Amino acid sequence: MTKKENEADQLITQIIQGIEDVKGQDIEILDLRAIENTVCDYFIICNGTSNTQVNAIVNSIEKSVSKNLKEKAWHIEGSDNAEWVLMDYVNIVVHVFQKHIREFYDIESLWGDAKTVKIETSY
């Protein structure tokens, strides 16, 4: 495993931990590395039940990544209405949706060629 892959795995682990800490739902990892001309290596997608929970997920991810890896998102967009918040960690982009917005945009099917991993949660 290269240093870059190890760093990506650590970041993915902390992002997933942040989502699970506040009971984010339907967590999926899309591995985009085998697709040409993508903007990043991975998408992590999840949803919350309200704008309050979406913001809680975003805050929890930020806290988990910052505390454990001393990293910050390069850019965060969409926090104002909290229907779809995008967190850009350069090689990993996190999409936190409200359920109905996720269903409407269905970005998983737009990236249908990506290898997808569903994260099973215990709640």
**Is the per-residue pLDDT at 28 higher than 90?**
yes
Sign of the torsion formed by the C-alpha atoms of 115, 75, 49 and 19 = positive
pLDDT above 90 for 54 = yes
Dihedral sign of CA atoms 12, 102, 105, 118 in order: positive
Would you say domain 3-113 falls under CATH 3.30.460.10? yes
For the residues 62-72, what does the mean pLDDT come to? 97
4 pLDDT more than 90: no
- pLDDT at residue number 83: 97
pLDDT digits (tens, 9 = 90+) for 81-123: 999 999 999 999 999 999 999 999 999 999 999 999 999 988 8
Q: What's the whole-number mean pLDDT along residues 53-58?
A: 98
Q: What SS3 string covers 2-65?
A: CHHHHHHHHHHHHHHHHHHHCCCEEEEEEECCCCCCCCCCEEEEEEECCHHHHHHHHHHHHHHH
